[in-house]
Amino acid sequence: MLRGLVLDFGGVLTDFGDDFAAPEPPLVGVVRNVRRHGILTALLSNADGLWAPPREWDGLFDAVVVSGEVGLAKPAAAIYLLTAERLGLEPAECVFVDDLAVNVRGAAAVGMVGVHHTSIASTLDELTVLIEFPSI
């Protein structure tokens, strides 16, 4: 059973799809929704150590792993393992979403379920099936 949702920042959590008038990117709303259903959440970014998530996202993630802070970068296996560990989960209990296929393959190589984000609609469809509750 999948108990953790791990998302990339740039290209995933910043994707507004076709609705640039929305108050926040749709996948940020997904994070809020899955947390209400007991799913643990993590943000995994290859940003430098000076970067931090937007303040309005405080409390939205159970773990934030930033390459510049931990000295590891996607697609290295160690960064996915560290993220799962910080969530207190096994990699196989996590689904990872990234817009770069190489990073999705890296997550899958350590046992995570990978979702290649190409559009809001396709990612929502996949997450709805994987996390097994309606209306993500």
CA 135 to chain centroid, in Å, comes to 18
- Residue where the block lists tokens 């998530």: 53
Looking at 46-87, list the stretches that DSSP marks H as alpha helix, in order from N- to C-terminal side: 67-70, 77-87
CA 104 to chain centroid, in Å, comes to 11
Binning pLDDT at 50, 70 and 90, where does residue 40 land? very high
Structure token digits, residue 106: 């890296």
User: Which pairs with CB-CB distance under 8 Å and at least 24 residues apart come from 69-73?
Assistant: 73/46
Q: How many helices (H) and strands (E) does the chain have?
A: 5, 5
pLDDT digits (tens, 9 = 90+) for 59-112: 999 999 999 999 999 999 999 999 999 999 999 999 999 999 999 999 999 999
CA distance 130 to 65: 23
pTM of the predicted model over 0.85: yes
